[in-house]
Structure 1
Amino acid sequence: MKNKLRTFVLLQVMVLMWSCDTALEEYYRQPDWLKGNAWEVLESKGNFTLFLSAVEKSSFRDLVQGKGIVTVMAPDDGAFNAYLKEKGYSGIDAIPAVELEKLVAYHLVYYSFSKAAFEDYKPDGTDSENDLRGIYYKFRTKSRDDNSVWNDQAFEGKQRKVIHKERFLPVFSHYLFESLKIDAEANYTYFFPSSEWTGEQGFNVSNASVNEYAIVTDNGYVYTLNKVIEPLETVYNALRKQSDYSMFVEAYDRFASYIYDADATTAYGNGDSLYVRSHGSELPAIASEWTNTASGVDYTQLSALSRRANNVFAPDNQAMQAFFNTYWSAYYSDLSKVNFLPLMALLANHVHSGDVVFPEMIEKGQVKSPMGTLVSFNRSDAKLRRMCVNGTVYGLNKLLTPPVFTQVTSPLYRNPSYTMLLDMCISSDFINPLLSDQVKFTLFLPTDEMIETNTTLEGRQIKYVNTNANLYGAQTIQIEGDLGLEDMKVNQKKSIAGNHIATRVIMQRNDTTVYATMNPFNYLYSIGSKVYSSALYNTGDQQKAPEFTAVGTYPNGKAYQLSGESASALVPETNQLKNMITSVASPADFEYFKALVAAASIDKTAPPYNFLLGERFIVLVPSNAAVLQGFAQGKVPFSPASKVADFLKPYFINVSASGLIDYPFAGTGVDTELVSFGRNSKGEIVKFRLLDKGKNLVLIDAKGKEHRISTILPRIYADGAAYIIDSLPDVE
């Protein structure tokens, strides 16, 4: 009985175990919708033997066979045979190992991308506010070149080992062209004339059409293609391989720089420092596979990596030489000698870093250079057309002349004698305003020698320092500081540069012209063959005033060169009128007025002249004769101080309260109310009327009497202007 019971129990256990095995097998059984890994899927199709053979000979077999997530772009055997025939290879084995590795890797996209993800990739997440569908068109692949060695010309040819990042693969979705509002077929085939646009309901992958979309595998997706995807090169390499563009490439390389890559050095350096080759912060990094070099090479910056393209519109050697002959040959022996700043202007007018640029966008006037100028040419003008891993190349048989070479700025960009003024104008953001056709400018151009030898700002010497002639950015303008030379500040550059740019003529009489400058309430006086800034005019030193001779006439103005053995540049006046009134260096016609100021002690308050409240002012200085006459007539008090102060305050005019945007000059039709800082006996603010009589200005007082202002060219200081008035006005 016991044996029968034991046998029954054993049978029950066996049945139970069999039932459990069956359940586990069912639980872990591969779902019907999974077809295996990418390798197995392609192998089962039977017509991808050449691609799989190539994968097998590369280092990526394990990845394709399931040892990682990957999206595989697989050309069929027909596509691969066509590729081998075109390249002259007898078979897969004939492809050099390095090239084969690069080729296979370019068909392997990081991560797993569905059809919808390729069509409208959103690196910032599906909630991204960007409504330009398809605009993120580049995807990171496994393909990269071996490290290369370059000679850093800025540092005596020191060798730099450069790491090359993985290539990005362009996927041209129908959404991309719809977002850009351009024709898909015409713009796609412009760069891929041997390919057919078939992406109306999906996308083309670089030069290939997709036969089958998004075949699901257990390690990603497979897309089958009608062509082998040829690995794209950088914009730099695409141009470098074309001898017709060597002058452009050599000019671009003068700005070459090397950014140390700490992460790459740790991961791949093997004891060597690794660098990314760039071209500074102002030109696109056309030699870098990745398009976020300026802000640091970082694979997490997917928005920049997937969207940004460096588009270059490169003139050929013939066009470059013609430009050199026209604009630079009088000053430089060859292109390699041209200063960095004008060369940068030329190059910057031939690049656009932003969205990928198609020809229809150019013809519609939608593309601008970093200088803000329109990139304009017909698509047929490009004899070289390349879609690149980091942008596009348009090789032109013409040069896009930057407007800085044709407008009034032209001498600054042509003649190296004006390098310091050019630097100051660029730092001050004056260049773009100077290109306007709405203003007729007059430029007065001091040479570098004049600035360094004869010019000071607030008594401080100015020097041009070039610590490395081969390194862009090693050139600085310096000024004497408390501890020696220091870099000139932008506001200092702006004050000097702005004073050499006349924006309009205020008044012209005989051989005298008054110009307004870029600096508010700063003027230039040209008298005969000489020109004066306020600082030079106030000194009365004729030797320091430069002569000016015409350099050229341009669509938006004229330019003159300044000269003179002891002449100074047209620096602004930095002295305060408040200080000059009582200074020992004050003009002789201030003498009696200065005595009244001292008697009133208004220069001794804290701060001095505190009633001015820090406002810009005009002071109407009674002539010495007028003060003497008024004193004799009992109109001018000499004590007590408070009474003298009350007498003087109406002679100080509040520029802002009077609504003046310029100091007044005779011959300009002035007819305006002047609001003073003084009050009459009723406590009312004293006001006058200023009237232009043609030859001179007159002040009309409270009683309607006219008082001649003898000053034609006022003395102008940092805080105000002084005019001599021939008689004493009544304030009530």
Structure 2
Amino acid sequence: MSKILPKFLIVILTFLVFLSSCRKKEFDEFYGRPENLGEPIYQQLQAKGNFIQFLSCVDKANYKETLSTAGSWTVFAPTDEAFKTYMQENGLTEIPTDLATRIVRFSMIYDGEKTERLSDFFSVKGFVKNTGFRRRTVYYDFVYDDKDLNGNPIKAIATNRNGVYFPGDFNNKSVTYFLSPFMGFAGLSATDYNFFYPNIPFNGSNIGPARLLSDQQNIIAENGVIHVIDRVLTPPLNIDQYINSKPDYSVFKNLLDKFVTFGINAEISHRYEVLTGKAGNVYVKSYSTLLGFSPNNENYLKVDANDAQQSSYSILAPTNGAVETYAKNVLLKYWRKRGVTTLNELYVVAPDVIRDYVNSHLYTSTVWPSKFALTQNFLGDLTKQTTADVIDRQVLSNGFFYGTNKSQDASVFSTVYGNVNLDPDFNIMKQALLYFNLSIPLKIPSIRYLVIPIPDATLRKMGFTYDPFFVSQPIRGDLTAFRRILQTHIIPLGNRPIPNFTSGAGILEASNGEYIKYDRGRLLSAGTQDSVAVAKQTIPVDSVSTTPVNGAVVYGKEALTYTVLPVGKHIEKYGNVPAAPYYNFFQYLFNSFIYNKTTGAITGLTDGVNYTVFVPTNAAIVAAVRAGLLPGNPATGVPNFTATDGISVTLVNKFIQYHIINKATVVSDGEKIGQFESLLKDDNGDAAKINVSINTVNSLQLRDVTGATVNVLLGANDRSNVLSNRTVIHQINTYLKYQF
């Protein structure tokens, strides 16, 4: 037994050793380092022999271990020849440690990627083909010296979001590259690249100002991928840093600074103390969310963690002279009468104007040189400048910078809205337009309008004010009435020319479907014409500005009001005596069961709805009696206004209803033609139609259901285009005939 046990143990141990050896072999085969895998990045560059300067920088930056061990990096490695050129251009005999660190960290991007992947956007849902042109590098700025809003020295750090700061995000700078897959997909060409780098040939393998060496790309290393480049890359400034470094943009920078805040961050202050041994508060420099973006934010929108790979910010920064010229001619044009002569003073009284001016130069997208005219700024305007206006162009770490010798002529200033927006005499109207969301279409250059501003003094007399203290409802007064009045002062022009307000006459449809009239330098509305005082029945036109890009602004000192009288009262005005043009029609209306003799209301007419009333002449009413369409003597045509039998009542009701267009107002302005429903309906509820067959400024012709032609009388002594309560009344030469 004792002899058998040792032999048994020997067999068992031999088996275990064999089994262990087999398992180690399998483990090594599965987990061991593949024989064809390249050495780590550092060792491969070292072996090549022409990266001495770059590796010296790596050593100085203390990144040797990082690039010699596990990880996943993409490294854009400049050759010694590239360093020689760089040092000559910058007058250097050696690379100091700080610069070496900047070069190395900016040459490293996260994740080892071959060139075919660099043009893909690595989104949270996976790679999006050919939509990427930037990658986050290892380099980031930390705490720096700055001055607070009072000019006191402070330690600051740039924000890493628009409107908020996350201490865990280092705000890494991105490198911008111009590779063929992305450039072709985005419809870009060498023109876009050479606009920034005019002396460097574009070959579709450009990394900023450098180029990938064609035979030394996609070098696979144990810890990433190496791409050899022919120039040394250094971290560019961001938009905030660049504009702060250039005195040529100091006036625009001063406007940007008005939206800057500095807030103490305890976590960054502690981190700064630990790293430097120096105690002190560190302030986060942020820009207001009122701006399109924070110019010192190295990230993009962060809707996706890596969205900075596929887009960036852009700015068209006007030079000092460009800002001052625009301020003189536009921004301060109306304010000088109030003693406001500088942009700093304007910011105090109208900060929104400065905000809009700044935002008109900011873009939350990449503005490519070849796509200036196709790109919208933060305000939604297409770029009005061209590359010919650009005197300075830079690819920065968080976007493109264009220094321009012109200001962007923003739509909020150049349209009809601009006249109200910029003139302090119309502040209440401006605030009301914003409050009621009526300003948006007025700012669109392609949609033409006529605007009649209402002075603050007039609105105050009417009981309307603006008080920002009441945040939820800063417009004080009857809001329903104010909105209706404002809409009456906004006239869509369409393709029509600007009317001749000095010597011409006509009728115009306002944005709410009501109408106003102009006649040789005077304006009137349904409300003004009801005024007891003759002098108040029309409003003199003081002047007309045709400088807005989308129409004109007509100035007067009063408001065009609406009438509160029912339509029946305006018919009565021209029908109260036998000689009056509406007399016969009104007498039938007055004595009908659909008319309220006390209020003047007509049954079937609903408040807030638009109508058109056609009133036949007195002679035409006589003809209708002869035709049996109205009660009276068919032989003589003498009307019977007071008949009360059922047949007579029905005749009168149908006649009146067929002479009223329902839910639409038609005037002689050349705009509306076609079929319109009347108030008259058959037993099935179908409305009888009136056809407007001709509509010009000189002719308005109708056809009834029988095909008979009826003309609106538009002579000087005829009562047509009479303004009423959301209604216009016309005199017609004969009656409209229905068939049921």
Give TM class, smaller chain.
0.7 to 0.9
Give, in whole Å, the separation in 2 of the partners of 1:506 and 1:88: 64
Task: Report deviation, 1:387.
Answer: 0.1
User: Equivalent residue of 1:213, what SS?
Assistant: coil
Instruction: Report the counterpart of residue 107 of structure 1 in structure 2.
Output: 107
Shift of the 598–183 alpha-carbon distance from structure 1 to 2, 3 Å rule, reads same
User: Mean Cα displacement is larger for which, 329-338 or 314-323?
Assistant: 329-338
Structure 1 counterpart of 2:234, from 230, 250, 256: 230
Shift of the 269–612 alpha-carbon distance from structure 1 to 2, 3 Å rule, reads farther
Give, in whole Å, the separation in 2 of the partners of 1:43 and 1:14: 45
Shift of the 148–723 alpha-carbon distance from structure 1 to 2, 3 Å rule, reads farther
User: Equivalent residue of 2:218, what SS?
Assistant: strand
Give, in whole Å, the separation in 1 of the partners of 2:560 and 2:270: 55
User: Equivalent residue of 1:445, what SS?
Assistant: coil
AA partner of residue 545 (structure 2): G
CA contact (8 A) 1:208 1:228 kept: yes
Aligned positions of 1:553-592 closer than 5 A? 553-554=546-547, 557-563=551-557, 567=558, 569-571=559-561, 575=564, 580-581=566-567, 588-589=573-574
Give, in whole Å, the separation in 2 of the partners of 1:187 and 1:696: 56
Unpaired runs of at least 5, structure 2: 161-170, 275-279, 577-582, 626-630
Instruction: Report the counterpart of residue 320 of structure 1 in structure 2.
Output: 323
1:175 aligns with 2:186: no
User: Equivalent residue of 2:653, what SS?
Assistant: helix
User: Equivalent residue of 1:652, what SS?
Assistant: helix
Instruction: Report the counterpart of residue 145 of structure 1 in structure 2.
Output: 141
Give, in whole Å, the separation in 2 of the partners of 1:507 and 1:195: 56
User: Equivalent residue of 1:170, what SS?
Assistant: strand
1:650 aligns with 2:646: no
Give, in whole Å, the separation in 2 of the partners of 1:697 and 1:30: 91
1:291 aligns with 2:283: no
CA contact (8 A) 2:667 2:728 kept: no
Task: Report deviation, 1:29.
Answer: 3.6
AA partner of residue 501 (structure 1): I
Give, in whole Å, the separation in 2 of the partners of 1:265 and 1:355: 34
Instruction: Report the counterpart of residue 678 of structure 1 in structure 2.
Output: 680
Name the TM-score, length of structure 1 as normaliser. Answer: 0.73
CA contact (8 A) 1:252 1:279 kept: no
CA contact (8 A) 2:300 2:313 kept: yes
User: Mean Cα displacement is larger for which, 672-681 or 315-324?
Assistant: 672-681
User: Equivalent residue of 1:386, what SS?
Assistant: strand
CA contact (8 A) 2:568 2:602 kept: no
1:721 aligns with 2:732: no
1:516 aligns with 2:516: no
Give, in whole Å, the separation in 2 of the partners of 1:586 and 1:149: 78
Structure 2 counterpart of 1:391, from 372, 396, 399: 399
Task: Report deviation, 1:75.
Answer: 3.1
Shift of the 518–69 alpha-carbon distance from structure 1 to 2, 3 Å rule, reads farther
1:136 aligns with 2:132: yes
Give, in whole Å, the separation in 2 of the partners of 1:582 and 1:76: 92
| CA distances 1:588-631 after superposition (whole Å, capped 9, x unpaired) | 55779599568625779xx9835879964223468999999988
| CA distances 1:106-153 after superposition (whole Å, capped 9, x unpaired) | 22222232222113445365685xxxx633111122222225698897
CA RMSD of aligned residues (A): 5.5
Structure 2 counterpart of 1:454, from 461, 480, 483: 461
Instruction: Report the counterpart of residue 255 of structure 2 in structure 1.
Output: 251
Instruction: Report the counterpart of residue 464 of structure 1 in structure 2.
Output: 466
Give, in whole Å, the separation in 2 of the partners of 1:694 and 1:221: 75
AA partner of residue 431 (structure 1): L
Give, in whole Å, the separation in 2 of the partners of 1:682 and 1:196: 78
Instruction: Report the counterpart of residue 485 of structure 1 in structure 2.
Output: none
CA contact (8 A) 1:499 1:517 kept: no
AA partner of residue 319 (structure 1): A
CA contact (8 A) 2:710 2:735 kept: no
Unpaired runs of at least 5, structure 1: 456-460, 469-473, 482-487
User: Equivalent residue of 1:647, what SS?
Assistant: helix
CA contact (8 A) 1:215 1:221 kept: yes
User: Equivalent residue of 1:619, what SS?
Assistant: strand
User: Equivalent residue of 2:542, what SS?
Assistant: strand
| CA distances 1:254-301 after superposition (whole Å, capped 9, x unpaired) | 455799999999999999998673454563443321221xxxx45x34
Give, in whole Å, the separation in 1 of the partners of 2:286 and 2:587: 66
Shift of the 463–69 alpha-carbon distance from structure 1 to 2, 3 Å rule, reads farther
Instruction: Report the counterpart of residue 640 of structure 2 in structure 1.
Output: 635
AA partner of residue 600 (structure 1): F
Give, in whole Å, the separation in 2 of the partners of 1:193 and 1:553: 42
Give, in whole Å, the separation in 1 of the partners of 2:731 and 2:263: 62
Shift of the 163–62 alpha-carbon distance from structure 1 to 2, 3 Å rule, reads farther
Aligned positions of 1:287-686 closer than 5 A? 287-292=296-301, 297=302, 300-302=304-306, 304-330=307-333, 331-332=335-336, 333-338=341-346, 339-340=350-351, 342-343=353-354, 346-357=357-368, 359-362=369-372, 365-369=373-377, 371-378=380-387, 381-402=389-410, 411-412=419-420, 414-422=422-430, 427-428=437-438, 429-435=440-446, 442-451=450-459, 453-455=460-462, 461-466=463-468, 478-480=475-477, 496=486, 499-501=489-491, 503=493, 504=496, 513-519=505-511, 521-539=513-531, 542-543=535-536, 545-554=538-547, 557-563=551-557, 567=558, 569-571=559-561, 575=564, 580-581=566-567, 588-589=573-574, 593=586, 600=593, 609-610=603-604, 616-620=610-614, 633=638, 635-637=640-642, 639=644, 644=649, 647-653=652-658, 662-665=665-668, 676-678=678-680
Task: Report deviation, 1:393.
Answer: 1.2
Give, in whole Å, the separation in 2 of the partners of 1:714 and 1:9: 121
Task: Report deviation, 1:529.
Answer: 4.2
| CA distances 1:184-205 after superposition (whole Å, capped 9, x unpaired) | 3x543432356554x54xx322
AA partner of residue 491 (structure 2): I
Shift of the 559–163 alpha-carbon distance from structure 1 to 2, 3 Å rule, reads closer
AA partner of residue 109 (structure 2): V
More strand by share: 1
User: Equivalent residue of 2:545, what SS?
Assistant: strand
AA partner of residue 13 (structure 1): L
User: Equivalent residue of 1:35, what SS?
Assistant: coil
Structure 2 counterpart of 1:215, from 216, 219, 239: 219
Give, in whole Å, the separation in 2 of the partners of 1:152 and 1:498: 49
Give, in whole Å, the separation in 1 of the partners of 2:685 and 2:408: 66
Name the TM-score, length of structure 2 as normaliser. Answer: 0.72
1:17 aligns with 2:17: yes
Instruction: Report the counterpart of residue 458 of structure 1 in structure 2.
Output: none
Give, in whole Å, the separation in 1 of the partners of 2:653 and 2:432: 41
AA partner of residue 291 (structure 1): Y
Give, in whole Å, the separation in 1 of the partners of 2:428 and 2:691: 44
CA contact (8 A) 2:317 2:404 kept: yes
Shift of the 388–684 alpha-carbon distance from structure 1 to 2, 3 Å rule, reads closer
Task: Report deviation, 1:326.
Answer: 2.9
Instruction: Report the counterpart of residue 119 of structure 2 in structure 1.
Output: 119
Give, in whole Å, the separation in 1 of the partners of 2:392 and 2:698: 65
Task: Report deviation, 1:386.
Answer: 0.5
Shift of the 14–684 alpha-carbon distance from structure 1 to 2, 3 Å rule, reads closer
User: Mean Cα displacement is larger for which, 20-29 or 107-116?
Assistant: 20-29
Instruction: Report the counterpart of residue 471 of structure 1 in structure 2.
Output: none
Give, in whole Å, the separation in 2 of the partners of 1:312 and 1:220: 35
User: Mean Cα displacement is larger for which, 386-395 or 275-284?
Assistant: 275-284
AA partner of residue 247 (structure 2): S
Task: Report deviation, 1:308.
Answer: 1.8
User: Equivalent residue of 1:312, what SS?
Assistant: strand
Give, in whole Å, the separation in 2 of the partners of 1:722 and 1:387: 64
Task: Report deviation, 1:74.
Answer: 3.1
Give, in whole Å, the separation in 1 of the partners of 2:501 and 2:247: 59
| CA distances 1:158-188 after superposition (whole Å, capped 9, x unpaired) | 999743421122122112322344433x543
CA contact (8 A) 1:407 1:557 kept: yes
Task: Report deviation, 1:389.
Answer: 1.6
Give, in whole Å, the separation in 2 of the partners of 1:403 and 1:320: 16
